[in-house]
A and B are shown apart, each in its own frame.
Chain A
């Protein structure tokens, strides 16, 4: 909690983006989360990514369920649409909203409780339906809002604040998303905006289901020695594999990298994603590679971060269902009910 109001004044040199807005214009209310919560850094990264992409705040829909993570949409993009849904049911609401209006940009923020426990089924189906959205999990391995019980993503053997080890194995949401068919899968760390911001930018422009699992430490209940989701542990064990640099359409890509270590992916708006592989043999376009690599790292206790998998030519639910280009919400009665003559001709075609 913070009781001091954040002053509206900003640095005189704060720049304005292509649509005339400053980064500060993408902020929301002042966070009521605990001081030092990783989730606030994730919100700050979203703010930075959206303002750097010059996206209009009023074209966003922010969706969330229940939990610390799910409070955060209040703290970014203050001038956009939002829906704070039932625990674990954010994917359903996102699916419905996205079906109705494909023109909005969807950001779902969930947590490890919201997505890996009560909403695990919902999560899986949002992935397989290829909802065009950015699905973020603020993953801290603990139920912070109910005072620090182990969550389903807490690693086996990782200890509670009082030293009691977790007995159960963890659900790896990255592995699930890869396996079920997400077309953009990444893992990052709330304490590393250099990595996180370009990932959010690329994910926002990706035309399909983008999933970012963000390790976001809980300073109150899961930031001690013995935790595998603490600032210290993640920094020690972080093993970046593919760094993604977002290159806007008007920028030139420099070619000063060894061949084979850089790959470029074209984005729908003309911008490009430059992937810098930290291991030449890794192929971020191969789901099998990604799955194997992620699993191996998990077994070795490393926290693999970066863009693990991306499809060059993804499809979303609207393409699968062949819906019209215009959002369904804009269709009028005459579009939906073409008249008795058309009905008669359709009926006639079945005779």
Chain B
């Protein structure tokens, strides 16, 4: 194998599994260390800089970081990264002195943000400090988009939402609420220098089954129903409620129904339990509230009596794997009839822009998604950029933040007459030694074998009685501290310097995970099988050195390294050093002019 180029910004970034998996590349171990030091405000700001909504995300994020966490591979359960983010938000102090300065003197460029959801807000936050004048339009009476209209208060309390939304709005956005955008052409006539479309995926899918039209009074589209609950238009639901769908919206619908007075609530999903789209913990929480989830039952027919819904007939199917894909075939058992008075349809949503005229130079693909440059998020109309769910379909809030950073750079470059693609700032990485003296390291290297700590929940009866009672209570400071100790500090990298190595084997002998091998160089496949312990996870890189004096190379399997620093601690010549990697993800402000 060729020697590893550790100066490629992606090499060590990838070793920090959580940061690599996070769409916004939040430096997770860095803020976890700050929490451990009770520096909650700084921990919050590290988050705020990269993901913009730490308090909201600390409660609602889909957590792509957690399944990626190294702890899943070394032990079993990941560090509770998301809940630690909430700890930073819950215990932070006054952040005002850390906020970017927004100049009074504007730079003369005007930007229109369509939609006031997380993507638009994050674009505004990135652009305001550079002097842009920003107008934001939304049909709802307040900012926040789906964070306000679709996430129930028992998961995301209004004050947490408002604090983070208002913070950005008050940085100087001209907000136009209750503003229904009906024509993109009209918007273009207003002659802004650039437009950012962050209108989300506002159309819930429907199912055209026999009886559907006759009973439409008794059927609601999940996201619309949640939104009407959020804005206080719907305050109760009665009788037997069936929620159709297996995603997080379905989980929010069933738990909300339970709180608004439904007699019974049942979730019915056409697929199996394991492959449901809902996050693991959302499913667990729904079940813990006594809501049954019935799987492998696609709906067949709505049964009604002159337009009054009586129930639904479901087929029974079973999953069969065919060419590596799951297919559902009938089991041959009798259909199931379930009584229902109200149905909430939560079977997916899509982006939908009927208000964009198709003759403005904005091209759409066959799925009715805008055609975008993935790096710049620029549409085929040079002034118009997309982000969040309206770009590539429904995703999570953290993706909206990630898109926003990209789009803000593109908008800035566009407005400065530069090329949003060619003139983008590069990625970078800094490596800083953590050695402070003999046997002294500036991070807590010791491995804590504790199991993942469980987040306490509010009393079940109390939370079912009141939709505004937050179910998860979050870690307190003590539990939060204990959970931080489980973090392996994967951003403190093992950096090897060939010409210092005397091949004494000290690192090989001490490594608790047998990650390091000195051997003759071969191609990757052979190397992987000839290590101290074979490297069987192809997704994790091998760190290979240049040739050493004996003709061998040092090979380190990054997969299970605990970053405990023992290799550097036992190295007599400092050939191994523990160096903190600081990933520079281009974000506006990091290259402010």
List residues of A whose CB falls within 8 A of some B CB. 1-14, 24, 30, 34-38, 40-41, 43-44, 190-191, 193, 217, 219, 223, 231-232, 235
Q: Which residues of chain B come closer than 8 Å to A34, judged between CB atoms? A: 572
18 further contact pairs, Cβ within 8 A, besides A5-B446, A30-B510, A190-B504: A1-B439, A2-B439, A4-B569, A6-B566, A7-B446, A7-B564, A8-B449, A9-B512, A9-B562, A12-B560, A14-B533, A24-B512, A35-B570, A37-B506, A41-B504, A217-B504, A231-B504, A235-B503
B239 at the interface (CB under 8 A from A): no
B182 at the interface (CB under 8 A from A): no
Q: Which residues of chain B come closer than 8 Å to A219, judged between CB atoms? A: 502, 504, 572
Q: Which residues of chain A come closer than 8 Å to B573, judged between CB atoms? A: 36
Q: List 10 A-B contacts (CB under 8 A).
A: A2-B510, A4-B445, A7-B562, A14-B533, A38-B504, A190-B504, A232-B502, A232-B549, A235-B549, A235-B550
A41 in contact with B509 (CB, 8 Å):
yes
Q: Which residues of chain B come closer than 8 Å to A40, judged between CB atoms? A: 506, 509-510, 570
A13 in contact with B534 (CB, 8 Å):
yes
Q: When A2-B570, A8-B449 are in contact, do A231 and B503 touch as well, CB less than 8 Å?
A: yes
Partner of A191, one of B73, B446, B505: B505
Interface SS of chain B: helix, strand, loop or mixed? Answer: loop
A44 in contact with B439 (CB, 8 Å):
no
A35 in contact with B533 (CB, 8 Å):
no
> CA A38 – CA B572 in complex, angstroms?
11
> CA A223 – CA B514 in complex, angstroms?
26
Partner of A11, one of B504, B549, B560, B566: B560
A193 in contact with B439 (CB, 8 Å):
no
> CA A12 – CA B506 in complex, angstroms?
22
Q: Which residues of chain A come closer than 8 Å to B447, judged between CB atoms? A: 5, 7, 9
B572 in contact with A35 (CB, 8 Å):
yes
A4 in contact with B513 (CB, 8 Å):
no
Interface size class of B (residues with CB under 8 A): 35 or more
A4 in contact with B509 (CB, 8 Å):
no
What's the least CB distance linking A290 to chain B, in Å?
27
What's the least CB distance linking B576 to chain A, in Å?
10
List residues of B whose CB falls within 8 A of some A CB. 73-75, 439, 441, 445-447, 449, 502-506, 508-510, 512-515, 533-534, 536, 549-550, 560, 562, 564-566, 569-573
B512 in contact with A7 (CB, 8 Å):
yes
> CA A147 – CA B505 in complex, angstroms?
23
What's the least CB distance linking B577 to chain A, in Å?
13
* Pairs A-B, 4 closest by C-beta atoms: A36-B572, A7-B447, A44-B509, A36-B504
Q: When A9-B513, A40-B506, A44-B509 are in contact, do A2 and B566 touch as well, CB less than 8 Å?
A: yes
- Name the residue on B nearest A231 (C-beta): B502
Q: Which residues of chain A come closer than 8 Å to B533, judged between CB atoms? A: 11, 13-14
- Name the residue on A nearest B514 (C-beta): A11
What's the least CB distance linking A192 to chain B, in Å?
9
A11 in contact with B550 (CB, 8 Å):
no
Q: Which residues of chain A come closer than 8 Å to B510, judged between CB atoms? A: 2, 6, 30, 40
- Name the residue on B nearest A2 (C-beta): B569
Q: Which residues of chain B come closer than 8 Å to A7, judged between CB atoms? A: 446-447, 449, 512, 562, 564
Partner of A4, one of B446, B449, B572: B446
> CA A37 – CA B570 in complex, angstroms?
9
B449 in contact with A35 (CB, 8 Å):
no
> CA A231 – CA B515 in complex, angstroms?
23
- Name the residue on B nearest A47 (C-beta): B509
- Name the residue on B nearest A5 (C-beta): B446
B503 in contact with A191 (CB, 8 Å):
yes
Most buried by B among A1, A2, A11: A11
Q: Which residues of chain B come closer than 8 Å to A24, judged between CB atoms? A: 512
> CA A8 – CA B536 in complex, angstroms?
22
